[in-house]
Amino acid sequence: MIVDSALYRRGRRTTLDHASADYQHLREGVVERGDFVWVGLYDPTDAELADVAAAFDLHPLAVEDAANSHQRPKLDHYDDSLFLVLKTLWYVDEDDAVETGEINLFVGRDFVVSVRHGQGSHLQAARSYLESTQSVLEHGPTSAVYAVCDTVVDGYTDVINELQIDVDEIESSVFSTARTNDAERIYTLKREIAEVRRAVLPLQDPMRRASEGSVPGMEPEGAPFFRDVLDHLNRAAEVVHDLDDLLSTAFSAHLARVSVQQNDDMRKISAGIGLVAVPTLIAGVYGMNFRYMPELDWRLGYPLAMVMMVAFSIALLVFFKKSGWL
């Protein structure tokens, strides 16, 4: 469906006197350099997307990609327009899960068409920022691309901060004195970090090109703004890499700790067996009812056997305590 459509003239949003889906009328309002139309769609139907494609002469390959919401972040150039794909991220704390959405941007000389997929990819904040900042909005479609990219990358930072909290919890749990089973959660977090990496890393090259002012169809004056976005994106990539390394280290430490705990358990089991084995041996010897055993007719035989059992058990207990087995 159409979320919003507007004509921006001289850095300000103009009031429309026609239907928001009247794209031809919208484009006729572009009269000066820097004026442009921004049409926002959310999960459009094939018919809605076809209408927009016909009105703005969008390349069919780009339209096909926009219809399928599982694209890799990229920046493609088609004739006199650009097609930019960005992944959006948001975090569900209850499940330690990173959910993904997608934004597809068609950028021309006098228009921007945004196609959103997923619940966590609202662009109202980007529009509001642009409409309140005339000096940025005057740069035309490039300003809209910057606002969208900045909003998306800020979302990456929010998600990474949540993941950082979870990784810190994992580290505390792994190195705590309590017996914990953190392997499943570590695997879950590594999988979510891989999801973040798939959104962040491919976007670095498009943002680098935009920051250098080398993207055809985008205003070179917008390069400083994209440098700021690229800086945030690079920092996000570094943190993602560090978090993945920390989780790998935590998993190795968890396995080592489990191995140590198992060895400790085996020592305790062995010590327990030793404490039981010696009295059992003595009892077994004196329980053999052979006819010609010297102790069978000895009055002190039973007390002596009991004393030997207790004495050897105490001696073994002291030994195991000093050795750290118990």
Element (H, E) at 164: helix 141-174
Instruction: Summarize the confidence of residues 126-133 as an average pLDDT.
Output: 84
Edge to edge, the sheet with strand 97-107 lists 12-13, 2-9, 36-42, 111-117, 97-107, 81-92, 74-78
Give strand ranges (E) for 151-269: none
Largest CA distance in the chain: 123
pTM tops 0.85: no
Q: What pLDDT score was predicted for residue 188?
A: 87
pLDDT grade for 145, boundaries at 50, 70 and 90: very high
Label residue 18 left, alpha or beta by phi (over 0 means left) and psi (-120 to 50 means alpha).
beta
Domains located in the chain, CATH noted: 2-257 (3.30.460.20), 258-323 (1.20.58.340)
Contact criterion met (CB below 8 Å) for 105 and 32: no
- Give me the pLDDT at residue 276, please: 75
